[in-house]
């Protein structure tokens, strides 16, 4: 399956991460309780063969920027 979870744990962080990615033109759905157990929140991305290398690089840059902004990445 191309569904790729990005584990974050905290529900509010997952919501914020998803919203901020959307501001960067990256769509990643927050998956929170009751869809998953409390403390297991994540965002979900679905890369596909139709994405170019440039598309993937764009997404990775957005993830890095948002992750640093939210303190998820150092």
Residue 2: the pLDDT is: 87
**Which residues have a Cβ under 8 Å from the Cβ of 35 and sit 6 or more positions away?**
none
Residue 32: the pLDDT is: 97
CB atoms within 10 A of CB 39: 9
Residue 1: the pLDDT is: 66
- Distance in angstroms (rounded) separating the CA atoms of residues 28 and 16: 11
Burial class for 43, CB neighbours closer than 10 Å (0-12, 13-18, 19+): buried
Per-residue pLDDT of the chain (74 residues; tens, 9 = 90+): 689 999 999 999 999 999 999 999 999 999 999 999 999 999 999 999 999 999 999 999 999 999 999 999 98
User: HSE on the CB side for 21, CA within 13 Å?
Assistant: 23
């Amino acid at each position: 399956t191309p569904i790729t979870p990005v584990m974050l744990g905290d529900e509010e962080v997952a919501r914020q991460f998803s919203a901020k990615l959307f501001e960067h033109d990256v769509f990643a759905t927050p998956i929170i309780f009751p869809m998953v157990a409390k403390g297991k929140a994540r965002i979900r991305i679905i890369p596909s063969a139709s994405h170019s290398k440039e598309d993937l690089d764009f997404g990775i840059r957005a993830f890095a920027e948002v992750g640093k902004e939210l303190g998820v990445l150092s």
